[in-house]
Amino acid sequence: MESTNLNIRTDKDIKLQAEKLFDALGLNMTTAINIFLRQAIRENGIPFEVKLHVPNETTEAAIREGRAIAYDKKQMGYDNMTDLRKALDV
């Protein structure tokens, strides 16, 4: 197998944290990067989930409701926990 160099740029703190982690695992940066690359090839993609943190429908509704209560003076709001619990039937 012929080897080649790979130059990457990353934040200094990220590099130091990664080196500390890999050292604890008995790996160096080169070995860790090679593990990542091989796993990506094996899975034919990024070997972990890459996604935006998009809130689900329930969370989005709660955010909208919270904003409405906070900014729209016509919206029902609560000044104390007793009134809130009563409204929630808790």
Which tens digit of pLDDT belongs to each residue from 4-37?
Answer: 999 999 999 999 999 999 999 999 999 999 999 9
What is the percent of the chain where pLDDT is above 90? 59
In the predicted model, what is the mean pLDDT of the chain?
91
What is the average pLDDT across 56-79?
A: 84
**pLDDT of the residue at 65:** 85
Number of domains forming the structure of the chain: 1
Structural domain includes residue 87: no
Residue at 63 is within a domain: yes
In a domain, 3, yes or no: no
In-domain check, residue 85: no
Which pLDDT score is estimated for 69?
A: 80
Residue 38 domain flag: yes
Q: Which domain holds residue 15?
A: 8-75
Report if residue 57 sits inside a domain.
yes
81 in any annotated domain:
no
Measure Cα distances from 9 to 13, 15, 20, 41, 66 in Å.
Answer: 12, 9, 18, 22, 41
